[in-house]
Chain A
Amino acid sequence: MTAAAPRTLSHLEALEAESIGIFREVAASFERPVMLYSIGKDSSVLLHLARKAFYPSRIPFPLLHVDTTWKFREMIAFRDRMAAEHGFELIVHTNADGVARNINPFDHGSARYTDIMKTQALRQALDAGGYDAAIGGARRDEEKARAKERMFSHRNARHAWDPRNQRPELWRVFNTRLGPGESMRVFPLSNWTELDIWTYIYTEGIEIVPLYFARPRPVVERQGTLIMVDDDRFRFAPGETAREETVRFRTLGCYPLTGAIRSPAADLPAIIMEMQASRTSEREGRLIDSDQAGSMEKKKQEGYF
């Protein structure tokens, strides 16, 4: 052996290895894991890391998409193409009861709609699948309450999180054991920041939904928020019409609830540049979080991610 210069990992290499290790720990420790796939950029990174973790095997668990029926059409097309290209098992769940009751973001308000079509739908899907571990793409830098969550976060039989009763998490030794009916939420991206995500997407060449890139799109402006008119279910206010603007999205969700930003950034470097220069946080575009402080924590206790 020849003496070489000391070698260390870059922070992205270290984060990647940490996440891969978590994926493998899940596959080895749980009977029925599932990965929540929201089609957004964090999910794209999650998918990429999962593929790396198990290569050359396929991802040994299904990906679950909770479809509220109000996602951007481009998201759905992207999701189906990814499933076909990477050969993962895709489970799509919609709250059928919510659909029957025609629950929608226009008539029922974002909070109620989100509760029924997202939170309850997720719980239904998790119960139906009997999953003992659900992998999600949440990051600790997103919100104060998330900063304290474990990478392996224990949920009681009602899917609820008890922030006072978290298992201490030391080294890379994760306690993956569960009692009857209990489950684990697992967050491989815990230590990634938004900039890490974007830089990694760039250096790894990861494909993301084109909605992240600025293009001319039909939008209406409501209380300073630009909403894209993605299909003919959109309800215009009297006198309101869509106009074409060059916009992009910082986060993706249900199109009537997701604000676009005016931006010329049509490729990754431009987005990253713009993000570095921008002075507002990512979640601002997500209307469901704009209620009172501490809301995320409440949602988590209720079983929302």
Chain B
Amino acid sequence: MSSVTAIPAPDTALDLWLAQQARKDLLRFLTCGSVDDGKSTLIGRLLYDSRLILDDQLDALRKESRNRTTGEEGIDFSLLVDGLAAEREQGITIDVAYRFFATERRKFIVADTPGHEQYTRNMATGASNADLALLLVDARKGLLTQTRRHSFILSLIGVRHVVLVVNKIDLVGYDRAVFEAIENEYRPFAASLGFASVQAIPVSALRGDNIVGASPHTPWYPGPALLPYLEQIEVAEDHAAGKLRFPVQWVNRAGHDFRGFAGTVASGVVRVGDALVVAASRQPASVSRIVTMDGDRAEAIAGEAVTLVLDREVDVARGDVLTRPGETPEVSNQFQARLVWMHEDPAFHGRSYLVKVGAQTVPGTLTAIKFRTNVNTLERTAATKLELNEVGTVTLALDKPVAFDPYGDNPHTGSFILIDRISNATLGAGVIDFGLRRAQNLSYQSFDVNRQVRAEMKRQEPAIVWFTGLSGSGKSTIANLVEKRLTAEGKHAYILDGDNVRHGLNKDLGFTEADRVENIRRVAEVARLMADAGLIVLVSFISPFRNERRLAREIAGDVRFTEVWVDTPLAVCEARDPKGLYARARRGEIRNFTGIDSPFEPPERADIVLHGGEEEPAALADALYGRLFG
């Protein structure tokens, strides 16, 4: 078989052979399928058939393969690609692993992603850099829920080419009908997902049928074998086509007179002399040099890492996107996106995260979860949160405008990750659908005094910390301790509680239903104004009803809002009874007293829960401080 990387024939000039090696192009693909569909076996087989497994590895492998299912070669190929010790013990692949092989025409990078139920996140990860996907199906089982799920994730992440690998065809007697039934069931489903190409191939990874060449066992199959197909499929788009996007990654200052903007062309082509603009500020400049260590260039195409020198002084920093006038990306601080959640802690709307779009990292808030898409049925359902491995359509508001494109137009400028502000974990990955409020005309020069500016003067991030809990639960004590600590650290904080609000701002309000809502509304609006002024606002209110707390969160808008539930058991609060209120309520002297004759609705999604009966206020305040500001 000539398709594998071979030793050059003796009469080939070495230089020619090496030049040919250097010119090969690159195909990145991922494999997906359910556990035991044969992914590992298939990858192992591709490595083996492309002569990538060396003698010492083969010997080790033959030893390890005893007592396992093997093909004629006496090798369990799946052993080749099972990595980490813990995974080997469990017998399942649980993470993304990368493999490499090459043929005469191409180099391949394979992302091996797991089929296990819970690992949507790993598949999305593997898919994000893939041009093509091998979607494995066990011929005996046919299409599974997971086949649909994987296809959906592929389309979400924008993988355009799919090979439906119908594996273990040997175990169904190389039956044409089985293969065709699977293919016929898959095609209409795939059509709804808009892939650029779908090719179904019947294979036996274990026995090697239709891997490097046509199998004698499937004379009824007229199509290509897998490896030749992977070698010839055209996935690369014209790199020089498309709108110019040059995200500035690093500003290169070499000495006094050199200022260059280093980055990788995300799409399009840039040439010396081109008129450009900075996407956010609209400042114009033209390209005077394209610098590389190998000498100046006349042009650079998508995928190339170069350094641009402009013909005049312009304000450009890391994160800016250079583009052409007339083909600028969107610049906005709000967009709608689809989000894959990748962390055990769920996503909640109203939460604040760090959003990294290209080289821009900006604080932002998940302003709404519009709906969740069931990855198995593609059904949309209302949701208030996204759990690990769930996919939702959301809106985000960033603290400052960023330049981006819809993901469908440009994956490099249309993708982002969400980072936890405290643990720095990568929580989710998103693809941008469209901008929400057009901020294109926003002028960079005009200097608005806004929350961010005020907050920067105070060197702090404004926030609203909303304490909820029974009377006597310790809300105010803890809020006071946190305020002291903040003040000691040079931060500017303020406490709003019943005492300083009821007697002034809200002294016209009583305890009727309508008054209660108005009470909360006013407090939340004041908290919001204070946060806008740059303050950290600690609100200590019983706020027993979920609706009230939701209202407060909504009013806070894009201000970082943390709901802290001081969850102290009623018995403890009543025993403390600092103001004698419980006693009076028990005697019937106070009506509608929370915990006695009026309910406390426990928060369903408090951001932080403090167990008041179990630990001292000082310890709770410390813990809270650490989580909020540490």
Does A73 lie at the interface of the complex (its beta carbon under 8 Å from any beta carbon of B)? Answer: no
Knowing A56-B291, A163-B95, the reply to whether A10 touches B250 (Cβ < 8 A) is no
Q: B15 contacts A7, CB within 8 Å?
A: no
Among B117-125, B193-201, B594-602, the one that faces the other chain is B117-125
Instruction: Kindly supply a per-residue 1/0 record for chain B positions 58-93, scoring 1 wherever the CB is within 8 Å of any chain A CB and 0 otherwise.
Output: 001000000000000000000001111110100000
- Please determine whether A294 and B121 come into contact, CB atoms closer than 8 angstroms: no
Query: What's the minimum C-beta distance from A178 to chain B, rounded to whole angstroms?
Result: 6
Contact (Cβ within 8 A) A20 B54: no
Instruction: Please give me the residue from chain A that is nearest to B420 by CB atom.
Output: A177
Shortest CB distance B333–A (Å)? 19
- Chain B residues near A241 (CB, 8 Å)? none
Q: In the bound complex, do residue A9 and residue B426 qualify as a contact, i.e. CB atoms below 8 Å apart?
A: no
Q: Is the CB of A4 within 8 A of B83?
A: no
Q: How far is the CB of B263 from chain A (nearest CB, A)?
A: 8
Contacts of B26 in A (CB 8 A): 9-11, 14-15
Across the interface, A294 reaches (CB within 8 A) one of B15, B85, B239, namely B85
Q: Check A297 against B55 for contact (C-beta < 8 Å).
A: no
Q: How far is the CA of A273 from the CA of B258 in the complex (A)?
A: 43
Interface status of A272 (Cβ within 8 A of chain B): yes
B57 CB within 8 Å of chain A: yes
A279 touches B7 (CB 8 A): no
- B249 close to A24 (CB less than 8 A): yes
Type the 1/0 row for A160-182, where 1 means its CB is closer than 8 Å to any CB of B: 00011011111111010111000
* B100–A191 touching, CB < 8 Å: yes
Query: Which of B410-418, B490-498, B500-508, B541-549 lies on the face that meets chain A?
Result: B410-418
For A24, give its contact among B98, B250, B417 (CB under 8 Å). Answer: B250
> B18–A178 contact, CB under 8 A?
no
1/0 contact trace for A4-25 toward B, CB 8 Å?
A: 1011111111111100110011
The listed residue (B54, B112, B238, B412) touching A172 by CB distance below 8 A is B412
User: CB distance A140 to B98 under 8 Å?
Assistant: yes
Q: Which of B5, B19, B98, B425 contacts A276 (CB 8 A)?
A: B5
Which residue of the partner chain A has the closest CB to B101? Answer: A193
Q: Is the CB of A167 within 8 A of B23?
A: no
A7 to B241, CA, bound (A): 9
Q: Which candidate, A74-82, A100-108, A118-126, A194-202, is the interface stretch facing chain B? A: A194-202
Q: Are A11 and B83 in contact (CB under 8 A)?
A: no
- Which of A51, A57, A297 interacts with B84 by CB under 8 Å? A297
Whether the pair A28, B55 counts as a contact (CB closer than 8 A) is no
Q: Which residues of A contact B253 (CB under 8 A)?
A: 57
The CA-CA distance from A14 to B131 in the complex, in Å, is: 14
A223 interfacial by beta-carbon distance below 8 Å: no
Residues of A within 8 A of B419 (CB): 175, 177
Chain A contributes a number of interface residues (CB within 8 A of B) equal to 70
Q: Map CB proximity to B onto A115-151 as digits: 1 under 8 Å, 0 otherwise.
A: 0000000000000000000000000110011011000
Q: Would you call A167 and B425 a contact (CB within 8 A)?
A: yes
Nearest A residue to B241, CB-CB: A6
The answer to whether B318 and A6 have CB atoms under 8 Å apart is no
Rounded to whole Å, the gap between the CB of A124 and the closest CB of chain B is 26
Nearest Cβ on chain B to A25's Cβ, whole angstroms: 6
User: With A and B bound together, what is the CA distance between A191 and B57 in angstroms?
Assistant: 20
Question: Is A207 part of the contact surface with B, judged by Cβ < 8 Å?
Answer: no
Nearest CB of chain B from residue A279's CB, rounded to whole Å = 4
User: Does B129 count as interface, using CB distance less than 8 angstroms?
Assistant: yes
Whether B316 is near chain A, meaning CB under 8 Å from some CB there, is no
Tell which of A10, A57, A168, A280 touches B122, judged by Cβ atoms closer than 8 Å. Answer: A168
CA distance A168 to B258 in the complex (A): 37
Q: Are B25 and A11 in contact (CB under 8 A)?
A: yes
Q: Are B252 and A57 in contact (CB under 8 A)?
A: yes
- Tell whether, in the assembled complex, residue A190 and residue B55 are in contact, meaning their CB atoms are under 8 Å apart: no
Rounded to whole angstroms, the CA-CA distance of A297 and B84 in the bound complex is 7
Are B18's CB and A168's CB within 8 A? no
Chain A residues positioned under 8 Å from B106 (CB to CB) = 11
Q: Does B25 contact A140, Cβ atoms closer than 8 Å?
A: no
How many B residues are at the interface, by size bracket?
A: 35 or more
Residues from chain B with Cβ under 8 Å of A200 in the complex: 22
CB of B417 within 8 A of CB of A175, answer yes
Q: Is A208 an interface residue (CB 8 A)?
A: no
Q: How far is the CA of A66 from the CA of B263 in the complex (A)?
A: 31
Q: Take A21-B305, A173-B417 as given contacts and tell me if A7 and B240 are in contact as well, using a CB distance cutoff of 8 Å.
A: yes
B521 CB-CB contact with A under 8 Å: no
Task: Say yes or no for B301: interface residue by CB 8 A criterion.
Answer: yes
On whether the beta carbons of A195 and B84 are closer than 8 Å, the reply is no
A76 to chain B, nearest CB (A): 26
A86 to chain B, nearest CB (A): 11
Within 8 Å by CB of B18, from A58, A193, A272, lies: A272
Asked if B412 and A203 sit within 8 Å, CB to CB, the answer is no
Q: Are B411 and A171 in contact (CB under 8 A)?
A: yes
Interface residues of B in 427-479 (CB under 8 A from A): 429
Query: How many Å from the CB of B319 to the closest CB on chain A?
Result: 9
Q: Interface code B93-132, partner A: CB below 8 Å = 1, 0 otherwise?
A: 0011111101000110100100000000110110011000
Interface string of B287-315 (1 = CB under 8 A from A): 00001111000000101110100000000
| Interface: A269 (CB within 8 A) | yes
CB distance from A83 to the nearest CB of B (A): 18
Q: Which of A9, A51, A163 contacts B239 (CB 8 A)?
A: A9
Cα–Cα distance between A179 and B250 once the two chains are bound (Å) = 23
Interface centre among A15, A52, A175 (most CB of B within 10 A): A175
Q: A54-B252, A57-B254, A173-B415 are in contact. Are A273 and B8 (CB under 8 A)?
A: yes
B362 within 8 A of A: no
Of B214-222, B277-285, B351-359, B575-583, the stretch lying at the interface with chain A is B351-359
A21 and B249: CB pair below 8 A? yes
Neighbour of A177 across the interface among B85, B342, B416, B424, CB < 8 A? B424
Asked whether A28 and B303 contact (CB < 8 A) given A9-B25, A191-B100, A281-B54, the answer is no
A97 contacts the other chain (CB 8 A)? no
Which A residue's beta carbon lies closest to that of B8? A273
Q: Is B83 a contact partner of A10 (Cβ separation < 8 A)?
A: no
Choice from B95, B128, B417 contacting A166 with Cβ under 8 Å: B95
- A284 in contact (CB, < 8 A): yes
Interface: A237 (CB within 8 A): no
Q: Which residues of B contact A140 (CB under 8 A)?
A: 98, 100
Report the bound CA distance from A57 to B307 in whole Å: 11
Q: In whole angstroms, how far apart are the Cα atoms of A12 and B238 in the complex?
A: 18
- Given A167-B425, A173-B416, decide whether A148 and B21 contact each other with a Cβ distance below 8 A: no
Contact indicator A55/B291 (Cβ below 8 Å): yes
Which one of B14, B55, B83, B99 lies within 8 Å of A273 (CB-CB)? B14
Contact of B22 among A24, A148, A203 (CB under 8 A): A203
Say which residue of A8, A56, A175, A281 sits within 8 Å of B25 (CB atoms).
A8
Q: Within the complex, which residue of B121, B239, B424 is in contact with A179, where a contact is CB–CB below 8 Å? A: B424
Contacts of A7 in B (CB 8 A): 238-240, 301
Pairs across A and B, CB under 8 Å, 13 listed? A7-B240, A8-B25, A13-B303, A56-B254, A57-B254, A147-B99, A168-B124, A171-B129, A178-B424, A190-B98, A203-B18, A279-B55, A281-B54
- Minimum-distance CB pairs A-B, first 7: A6-B238, A11-B26, A279-B55, A170-B128, A55-B293, A20-B305, A177-B424
Give B contacts to A, CB under 8 Å. 5-8, 14-15, 18-19, 21-26, 54-57, 60, 81-86, 88, 95-100, 102, 106-107, 109, 112, 121-122, 124-125, 128-129, 236-241, 249-250, 252-254, 258, 260, 262-264, 291-294, 301, 303-305, 307, 318, 342, 354, 356-359, 411-412, 415-417, 419, 423-426, 429
